Structures are given as structure tokens and as C-alpha cells.
Chains A and B, each alone.
Chain A
């Protein structure tokens, strides 16, 4: 299977910056995979996200989306249609003052037939569980609801890849859960490739693959189990481990012998139960 996004040794330095934001990153993203990108502030994770749909183009190296080079301006619309992007602040990505009109914005831009737009808008809103709110004004929705509308707005383009740049950073715990559940369902049920940029370790637990960036380089790359068992390495990168791992490590230090690959709260609880029996 060919990767949907292929990143070949890219580097990028912002104007006036003294060190590169990305420094020789190579990465293949396979279709249908859920990749979480972690990293502390300034690790380059947002810069990496912006390279995935040609908001930024690499100063050296190449990014290919479905074989199309992002540096070629002629590919721009085709790339943006395939790689949808959701940002941190839901307020600043909603264009219209009715939910369904906002979701229709992207397919309208693409010149899709009105009937097909209607179908896509309804389908996208149903996928994120916001269909009942289609006639609401966005500013009256909660943060999690707004962010799901923003996701629907991107889904209406029928993208192959969904890139989310810290989509839960401004949400309360409930809103975070809503958004993550919607994203996981899109990946698992619809087969959409997901790249989730986050600094909440807990959000990476359900991913297929976790990348940890540090100062513009990929520091760790593996399954969540492989990554989160390296407690010392994560701490060296100024990252904390998920709460479940922290608990497991402390219990093990106190004399228990728990497996370190129980990441979700349910798995962790089951492992503790098993050890206590």
C-alpha cells in the first residue's frame, strides 16, 4: 500500500528564528491510520501539521500528498481537498452564522452541485452528531459542539486525511471527549486517515502510532505501548506520561508487577484487578 502522505527529509525555519522549527523530518502516513503527534511547546508539531496541506512548504526536502508535490502551486486545491485541517480555536474557523451554511462552505468553494452539497452537509453533520443543530447559530453552541461543526465543515470536502492541530486545547473535559470520540469514529468507521497533533498524552492512547517531536526532529516513533513505556525518555523530552501509565509506574515502584502496556483507563483497571486477584 502506498502512503497517502510521504514526507522526505523536510526542514523549515521561520523568518527571524534562530533555529529550525523542523529539522530533517521523514515520515510516511498510511491510509486509514490514526497517528498522534506529541511534543512540548516549540517542538515543531504545528509546523509539521502545516506542511501536510501546503499551508507551509518545506525549504528543503519534499512532501507528497497522493503523489502530488506540495511545492507545486497547481496542486494546491487538489491537496487541500484531500487533506482537511481543523485548528485550535473553533470560533475562528466558522464562517457562516448558520451551522449548515458553514458546513456547506467548502463544497460550495469546490463548485459541487447543490444537491450533492446538501447530501454531503447532512452526512457530515450526522457523522459528528450535530445534525439536530443544523439550523442553530454557531455562537450559541458549546466549545465541543463548535469544534465538531468545524470537523463537519472539513468532512464535507470528502477528504482522505483529517489533520487536527490541537483541536481540544480550548475545550473543557466534556468537549474534549466529544471531539475525540467523533475523530476516533471517523477513523475506525469511515476509514479516514487521522493525524492528531496534541500535547495531551491521554489523547494519544487510542492511536495506531505515536510520534514524539523534539526541537524539530522525530525523537520517538512507535505504538502507544512502545512509546509510553519509555517513561524516562518521555520525561527527558519534558513530556508527562498518561495518567494510567503514571499510576502503573508508581504501583510497580511500590512492589506490584503490572504490565506497562495497559493504556486506556479500562485496560489499566483490568490489569490492576488481575494483579490483585
Chain B
């Protein structure tokens, strides 16, 4: 049951999108997010959507997978839509009933806000669906490495991320085991009021905490035995290389931004 948890929803594959340098994908995702906020016309949204759809098609990501990822956002989307729809002022009234009045401006704003959220989130999914969490961590470390000069422990932070990702399945397994052990001794984790259930979690969390500390201790020792000495003077087996495809991806990103600005200027 707990084992079904997947983190970051990475779908391994070997498409041009998967093969891009993770730094390229990370930067382009940021560019994409900025681009969405530059959109000023319906044509702009159409362009962004076209870009998103082509990336998804190249990366072999099925629309179903995207929709599944968007599901948890339904509440936020509905909330945003309702808020913009009913609480936007204006004279161009479209519909009025007692104190409720909907304006064209409101409708337009609601639709564009919802589109923005959908495009934004699906865009970031393109990154996490095609890039392993480890590669994202790696890319972050390298992009942030200039901060090392300011004594920001970039390498250590990325190592922490890696270890956290590495230990999630181990801890999930352990939680499962402790749960079974407590259930075997008659612990009731599933029924009762909320406070009761919260209290029932204690016998689960305490052993988990204690064992995590023990693990951390042993892992630290094992790391020291393998000559871990901080980030300084460290080399990496896997070097990241920007290739021609990355240049092409950046060019396409720039074109997207230019297109959005152009459409905005033209008001299409």
C-alpha cells in the first residue's frame, strides 16, 4: 500500500526530451513559467499550448498522465475560476440574478487564470516526467555552484536531497513493517476520531524516528569510511555536457517567448 508512493512521477524513456541536459530543461522550465506570465492575448495561450503539446508528444507523455497529475489541483482551479468570475467588476454585464452578476471581463479573466494555472503546472510536469529527481538535483547543484563563492553549501544541500530520495523507499518499507508489527499487537490505526487516530500514530512514529537516527549515524560512519570529506576537491563520474540538441532547445524557447510577445503586440 505505502509502496505505491512515487515521488516526482518520473517516467523513464529515451526521447529527445529525456536526453536533454537536465540544466537545459530546468532553465527552459523557468523560461516557460516566465513566458506564461508574458502572455497577453488568446493567441498567446494557443501558442503556449501548442508548445506544451509538442513537447508532450515528443516525450511520449500521454494526455492521460498529465490529467492525472492535474487532478489534485481541481480545488484550486475551481476556486480561482469562481473568485474571478463573480468578483470582477465592470459594466459589460453578461448575466445578472439578484446580487450575482457576471461580467465579460470577469469571464475572460477567469478563463485566462485557469488556463494559466493549467499550462504552468503541466509545463513543470514536463520537467519532472522526463527527468529523474537525481538529475534535477544534479542540475540544481551545478547551476547554483557560483553560490559556493558566497559560502552557500551547494554540494552538501544536493547530497542531502540525494540521500533523502535514496532513503524514502527504505523508510516506507520500514513504516510498513512497524505498522504490521503494531497491528499484530492489536493497534487500531484505521478507525476512531481524528485525535484518536493521530494518537494511534505515535507508536508508529517513535520507532521510526529512533531507527532513522540510528540509520543516520551508521550512514555517516560509512560515508566517512569512504573518504567523504565535504564537497571540496570532489570530482564527478558523470559529467554533464551541453550538446547541439540543447542549443536547439534554447533556440526554440527563445522563439516561444518572441512569439508570445509578438502576439501580444498584435493583440491576437
Partner-B contacts on A (CB < 8 A): 53, 55, 77, 80-81, 84-85, 87, 89, 91-98, 100-101, 104-114, 117-118, 121, 137-139, 150, 153-154, 157
A–B complex contacts, Cβ < 8 Å, 7 sampled: A53-B225, A55-B221, A77-B229, A95-B159, A107-B237, A109-B228, A138-B166
B239/A154 in contact, CB under 8 A: no
A84/B235 in contact, CB under 8 A: no
A63 to B159, CA, bound (A): 33
Looking across the interface, which residue of chain A has its beta carbon closest to that of B138?
A: A101
B162 on interface, CB distance cutoff 8 Å: yes
B237/A80 in contact, CB under 8 A: no
**What residues of chain A lie closer than 8 Å to B170, measured between beta carbons?**
91, 139
B189 on interface, CB distance cutoff 8 Å: no
A97 to B161, CA, bound (A): 11
B226/A114 in contact, CB under 8 A: no
Q: Interface residue tally of chain B, by bracket? A: 20 to 34
Chain B interface mostly: helix
A118 to B222, CA, bound (A): 21
**What residues of chain B lie closer than 8 Å to A89, measured between beta carbons?**
218
Q: A95-B222, A104-B237, A153-B226 are in contact. List 6 more A-B contacts (CB 8 A).
A: A96-B166, A109-B226, A110-B227, A112-B235, A117-B236, A157-B226
A109 to B155, CA, bound (A): 12
**What residues of chain A lie closer than 8 Å to B238, measured between beta carbons?**
101, 104, 114
Chain A interface mostly: helix
A100 to B236, CA, bound (A): 12
A95/B227 in contact, CB under 8 A: no
B134/A80 in contact, CB under 8 A: no
Q: How many whole Å from B249's CB to the nearest CB in chain A? A: 24
- B222-245 contacts to A, CB under 8 A, are 222-229, 233-239
A112 to B226, CA, bound (A): 13
**What residues of chain B lie closer than 8 Å to A93, measured between beta carbons?**
218-219, 222
Q: How many whole Å from A261's CB to the nearest CB in chain B? A: 36
Residue of B134, B221, B222, B224 ringed by the most chain A CB atoms within 10 A = B222
B237/A96 in contact, CB under 8 A: no
Ordered nearest first, which 8 A-B pairs have the shortest CB separation?
A93-B222, A106-B226, A92-B218, A104-B237, A139-B169, A117-B237, A97-B166, A85-B225
Looking across the interface, which residue of chain A has its beta carbon closest to that of B220?
A: A92
A108/B235 in contact, CB under 8 A: yes
A229 to B223, CA, bound (A): 40
Partner of B234, one of A100, A108, A118: A108
B165 on interface, CB distance cutoff 8 Å: yes
**What residues of chain B lie closer than 8 Å to A157, measured between beta carbons?**
226-227
- B168-198 contacts to A, CB under 8 A, are 169-170, 173
B30 on interface, CB distance cutoff 8 Å: no
**What residues of chain A lie closer than 8 Å to B234, measured between beta carbons?**
108-109, 111
Q: How many whole Å from B95's CB to the nearest CB in chain A? A: 54
